[in-house]
Amino acid sequence: MYANKNILNTIITNKITWIQEQKKFISLEKIKNSVKKTKLNFYKSLKKNYNVFILECKKASPAQGIICKNFNIIKIVNVYKNYASAISVITDEKFFQGNFNFIQKIKKLVLQPILCKDFIIDPYQIYFARYYGADAILLILSIINDYEYNILSNIAHRLNMGVLTEVNNKNELKRAINLNAKIISINNRNLKDFSVNVNHTFNILKKQILPKDIILISASGIHNNKQIRDLSKFVHGFLIGSAITSQQNILAKVKSLIFGKNKICGLKNVKEAEVTSKYGGFFGGLIFTTKSIRFITLANALKITSYVKTLFYVGVFYNSTIAEIIKISKSLSLYAVQLHGDEDQNFINILRKKLSKKTKIWKVIKISNHIPKINFYNIDLYVYDNYLPGKGLSFNWKLLKKKKTNNILLAGGLNIENCIKAINLNCYGLDFNSGIENTLGTKDLKKIKDIFQKLRNYRMIRN
């Protein structure tokens, strides 16, 4: 990491040297003769009628040092390609350990446009980015004046490349508007010391009246779905990098950011699990209660968990024995066991001692006309459900007013009509079951897809 308080100046000084040296290896004229216009339209890919996600390949930064020790660009992009509107690649080598070769590797794997994210101050860099396959560039108003911006953006547009215009304060926002920037990224990072404040987006856009055709992006410091929903009141999309690449499980982080940590309960076959995972599901619920129409045998559950390894599986039990819970949990390597019955504190304590330390314990709280007092411990998460679970009925959500909800998975009567109202309660996640079925006990695959699309497109349909 770099101790220099004005990191940006250090980067720009180095960038000038890099450009001079690079021109010795390959001239501007040679690059110009080699490049062709991109056929991908960066602007169209970032449509305003749904939330935009520019997902970034980021290995390191001056402020954080190495973000991703085992940086595997192929592995990262194979996740991104299923969820990103566009893919951002940091190409600065000295300070971010980026590489232009990353663009070429990614180009072979994705259909989305690729944004070259660098500190661009010279026309040479734009041609160089296009030479390696970039479809768009980042222009940072903190490091160029309006005259330079016009020159650089015009070159990009002649190559059919898009321009993401980065601003860091209200004055730069006004400049970007006057420069007719189509997509404006508000960087929540202080470019002098690289500190981050996600509220920077709110502060810059507060009381601002902007042209309707501008697409606004919030970048840096975004770590969870609640931040995305809060920011969605002001912006159309997000640029996210280190929050994802710093994690071992890239897919899990992407899904939790875009959709939240939501569960589809009552999975009965591999196809239901595949669709759940593909479209944004985080948890998969397997019900081992024989009285339930959604009951699944251990053998069938093993088929699901063996074929679909991209969900965190939760076993649902109702007054089962500790031996049975332990056996099933161990066989399936369950993420959590969910207790739906009359299990008391003594039962929970014994279960906790015998259960793998990695396996969580969730306890269902059945709610009628009030929220009961909860005195349990050794519980990792509570599931609030209607007192008649599995019947497609919600309890009165007004009971949650002024209650702590971030340790609650909300269940009961959730469907595509009420999921946005539900997610605004700011619970840990949502637990879908009968509301996404076509017949009792059988999941409707289209409803699963539609409900996650609605959660992703939060900005478009929020009340």
Phi, psi of 365 (to 5 degrees): -115, 115
* Residue 437 burial (CB count, 10 A): 19
Q: What is the pLDDT of residue 389?
A: 65
Please name the residue ranges forming H helices in 121-260: 123-131, 146-158, 170-178, 200-205, 225-231, 242-245, 250-258
Among 438, 420, 429, 447, residue whose Cα is nearest residue 263: 429
Q: What is the mean pLDDT of residues 387-416?
A: 89
- Tens digit of each residue's pLDDT (9 = 90 or more) over 103-115: 999 999 999 999 9
CB-facing half-sphere around the CA of 101: CA atoms within 13 A? 4
Are residues 2 and 62 in contact, defined by beta-carbon separation less than 8 angstroms?
A: yes
* Polymer length in residues for the chain: 463
Q: Select from 1.10.10.10, 3.20.20.70, 3.40.640.10, 3.30.590.20 the CATH code of 7-255.
A: 3.20.20.70
Please tell me which residue, 192 or 311, carries the higher pLDDT value: 311
Do 7-255 and 260-450 share a fold? yes
pTM over 0.85: yes
Please report the pLDDT score of residue 463 as a whole number.
Answer: 36
User: Taking Cα atoms as reference points, which of 188, 123, 187 lies closest to residue 161?
Assistant: 123
Taking a C-beta distance cutoff of 8 angstroms, is the pair 51, 232 a contact? yes
Would you say the C-alpha torsion 401, 403, 407, 410 has a positive or negative sign?
negative
> What integer pLDDT is reported at residue 62 of this predicted model?
86
Phi, psi angle pair for 339, to nearest 5° = -95, 115
What is the pLDDT at residue 462?
A: 40
Tell me the pLDDT of the chain averaged across its residues: 94
The yes-or-no verdict on residue 4 having pLDDT over 60 is no
Q: What is the mean predicted confidence (pLDDT) over 407-417?
A: 96
Taking the C-alpha atoms of residue 291 and residue 314, their distance in angstroms, rounded to an integer, is 18
- When pLDDT is averaged across residues 222-240 and rounded to a whole number, the result is 94
Distance (Å, rounded) from C-alpha 175 to C-alpha 74?
Answer: 37
Q: What are the tens digits of pLDDT across the range 76-126?
A: 999 999 999 999 999 999 999 999 999 999 999 999 999 999 999 999 999
- Taking residues 361-387, report their average pLDDT: 93
Q: What is the average per-residue pLDDT within 28-37?
A: 95
Confidence of residue 450 (pLDDT cuts 50, 70, 90): very high
> CATH fold of 260-450, please?
TIM Barrel (3.20.20)
For the ranges 264-268, 391-395, 420-424, the lowest mean pLDDT is seen at 391-395
Taking only the tens place, the pLDDT of each residue in 269-327 is 999 999 999 999 999 999 999 999 999 999 999 999 999 999 999 999 999 999 999 99
Residue 72, pLDDT above cutoff 90: yes
Mean pLDDT of 177-194: 91
Average pLDDT over residues 28-56: 93
Using alpha carbons only, how large is the chain's radius of gyration in Å?
25
Q: How far apart are CA 403 and CA 69, in angstroms?
A: 40
Range 257-278 average pLDDT? 98
Residue with tokens 């970048």, as numbered in its chain? 219
Residue 210 has pLDDT above 70, yes or no: yes
Domains of the chain by residue range: 7-255, 260-450
Q: Could you tell me which residues come within 8 angstroms of residue 86 by beta carbon, excluding any fewer than 6 positions away?
A: 42, 45, 46, 52, 54, 55, 112, 113, 114, 115, 135, 136
Q: Residues 223-231: what's their mean pLDDT?
A: 94
pLDDT at residue 5, rounded to an integer? 52
